[in-house]
Amino acid sequence: MRLAIFDLDNTLLGGDSDHAWGEFLCRIGAVDEAAYQAANDRFYQQYQQGTLDINEFLAFALHPLSQHSMEQLELWHRQFMQECIEPLMLPAAKDLIARHRDQGDLPMIITATNAFVTRPIATRLGIEVLLATEPELHKGQYTGRLQGTPCFQEGKVTRLQQWLQETGHSLTGSYFYSDSRNDLPLLEQVDHPVAVNPDETLASIARERNWPILDLRQS
């Protein structure tokens, strides 16, 4: 079975769920708005520039999860899905997933955004296999720390290789769809790399290497 691997933010979604979650926390008053918004924007800019320190960012992004009960977080996430994620859903992305599934491929998402934020989004997209950055849990409460390898840049390759060993799947004939220069390590591992609404750096590399470039934000 071929793998159809998708990045999530700015690929299957018409925006970034990690950044949007930070904005949502600011809007509902769950964090100090001025300080958190400034840091959230700064980290997002670093991500776009390919200069993000993932451990510094995760210390920032996972901390709010440790400050509230799971019940409260899940309540907020349902509101977040309705108000912030639904407007980012792309019909063309859903059609692409469906085409791969109709061809007998296995769709999966691999994302740097943490699993608390992204698992309900993957479920909404009908994708069961999710590899995401995992926040540590202890006795049903998030600790604010990372569990395992961050699913970011080369870490995506590491996490995927671990999953392949555990499941017996292979990358033969595989596809990977992404918008970001940060995903170049994994794009170079698959048989069919595809740039989706790519950033300037990835677009340039895709043109040089004759990789397909897709627009999933078309009306």
Residues designated as active site: 7, 9
Question: Shortest CA distance to 39 belongs to which of 51, 23, 55?
Answer: 23
Kindly write down the DSSP assignment for every residue of 35-95, as one continuous string. Answer: HHHHHHHHHHHHHHHT---HHHHHHHHHGGGGGS-HHHHHHHHHHHIIIIIGGGB-HHHHH
CB 184 within 8 A of CB 191: no
Distance, in Å, from the CA atom of 180 to the CA atom of 169, rounded to the nearest integer, reads 25
Distance, in Å, from the CA atom of 15 to the CA atom of 121, rounded to the nearest integer, reads 13
